[in-house]
Amino acid sequence: MKRASWVALVVVAQGFGSIVVAEEWDPDTNAPNLASGGIENTRHNMTMSYLSGAHRATMRIWRNDYGEVCVYCHTPHGANTTSGAGMPLWNRTVNPSLTYQLYTDVIATTLQMAGDQTASAPGPASLTCLSCHDGVTAIDSIINMPGSGNYRASQDEIEDPGFLAGWSADTFENLDLASCASECHNPGGSPFDFYPFVIGAGTDADGNYVAPVGTTIDLRNDHPVGVLYPTATAGSPGVDFFPMDVLIPDRYAFFDDGNGRADKYELRAYDSGQGYEIECASCHDPHGVPDAANIEFIPSFLRVDNTGSALCLTCHDK
C-alpha cells in the first residue's frame, strides 16, 4: 500500500459556509465556467443542477444537497487519514477493497518502458479523484456532513447508505457517477452525458461506455496512472520525455516556470513512496485553472490548455 502524501491543492476560501452563486453563472444555458466565479461555477459544485425547475427538484432524491461547495471533498475536522486519502482535509470515502485494471495489464507491449520506468496501482493523487470518478462510489459519500452529530469515522473506507440517507427526507438514492449517467445523464436522456467522466467505465465492441461491475475498476482505456516518470534516463537517447525541472522527494516533481514552486498550471509527477509517478492530478486541478486571459477556466479542469497538444508536449518529446 502506498504511503499517503500531502498534495498541493488549495481549499477555496468560500469553504464550508453557504454559497452565493456568482452573477455570471447561468445554469439554464450552461454558460462557460468563468474564472471570476471560482469553483462554485464549475461542475465540481455538487450543490448545483445544470437544469432548472423540476430537474433541480428531482436532483434532491438522487444525492444529498449539502448546500456547501467544498464539503463534498473537504472537511475542517475529522478528515480521512487512510493511506488512499492524500489530499488536505479529505472528506470522501476511499474504498480500499477496489482493484484497478491498469493500462499495462493487457497492453504492456505498447507501453515502451524507459530504463527505470515501472507501473503500479494508482496513488493518492489518483485515488481521491477516483473516489467519485470510479463509477461505484456515491457522489455524496462523505465522512463529515455539515452540522453537529453528522460525523461517522467508518465512512472513510466503507460507504454506509443508511448514514447518508439520514441527511434529508428527500433522499431516496445515493447514486454513483455511473448510475447518474445511466439514469438521466446519458446521450439520449440528458443534454449532459456523464459517461465520459466515469473513469472506471469500460467500453463494449461498439465503443459504448459500460459501467463498472463489482469491485474491479477498468482503467485500461485511459491515460496510464501509477506509471513512473523517467528521471535518471530522461533526456537520454530513446527516452521521449522531457526531464522535470524540480524534484522534491516524498512529494512531487514538476515543470517550473522559474519561481521554484508547483503552481496549479504546471504539470507534475507525485512521489507516494515509489518514485515520481503520473497520477490524475498530474494533468488536472479539481479547482480549475484560469486561461491565459484569466477569464475562463481551461476545459476539463486541465492544468494546461491542450490546444495544439500543448499539454501532451509538456512531457512528451515528440
Q: Determine the pLDDT at residue 16.
A: 35
Q: Is the pLDDT of residue 245 over 50?
A: yes
At residue 32, what is the residue type? Answer: P
Q: Determine the pLDDT at residue 218.
A: 85
Confidence of residue 269 (pLDDT cuts 50, 70, 90): very high
Q: Is the pLDDT of residue 12 over 90?
A: no
**Of the candidates 261, 260, 227, 221, the residue with the CA atom closest to the CA atom of residue 241:** 227
Question: What are the tens digits of pLDDT across the range 119-128?
Answer: 788 999 999 9
Q: Is the pLDDT of residue 263 over 90?
A: yes
Exposed/middle/buried for residue 52 (C-beta within 10 Å: 0-12, 13-18, 19+) = exposed
Give the C-alpha separation, 221 to 241, whole Å: 21
Question: Which residues make Cβ contacts (< 8 Å) with residue 128, sequence separation at least 6?
Answer: 73, 84, 85, 86, 87, 90, 92, 94, 281
Exposed/middle/buried for residue 57 (C-beta within 10 Å: 0-12, 13-18, 19+) = exposed
b/e string for 237-268 if b means 16 or more Cβ within 10 A? eebebbbbeeeeeebbbbbeeeeeebeebbbb
The torsion angles phi and psi of 78, rounded to 5 degrees, stand at 70, 35
Mean pLDDT, the chain, whole residue set: 81
Give the C-alpha separation, 12 to 283, whole Å: 19
Q: Determine the pLDDT at residue 124.
A: 93
Q: What's the pTM value of the predicted model, to 2 decimals?
A: 0.84
Q: How many CB atoms lie within 10 A of CB 94?
A: 25
Q: How many CB atoms lie within 10 A of CB 4?
A: 23
**Of the candidates 225, 229, 223, the residue with the CA atom closest to the CA atom of residue 276:** 229
Q: Is the pLDDT of residue 64 over 70?
A: yes
Question: What are the tens digits of pLDDT across the range 142-156?
Answer: 999 999 999 999 999
Confidence of residue 194 (pLDDT cuts 50, 70, 90): confident
Question: What are the tens digits of pLDDT across the range 84-142?
Answer: 888 899 999 999 999 898 877 655 555 555 555 667 889 999 999 999 999 899 999 99
Exposed/middle/buried for residue 276 (C-beta within 10 Å: 0-12, 13-18, 19+) = buried
Q: Determine the pLDDT at residue 309.
A: 97
Q: Determine the pLDDT at residue 105.
A: 61
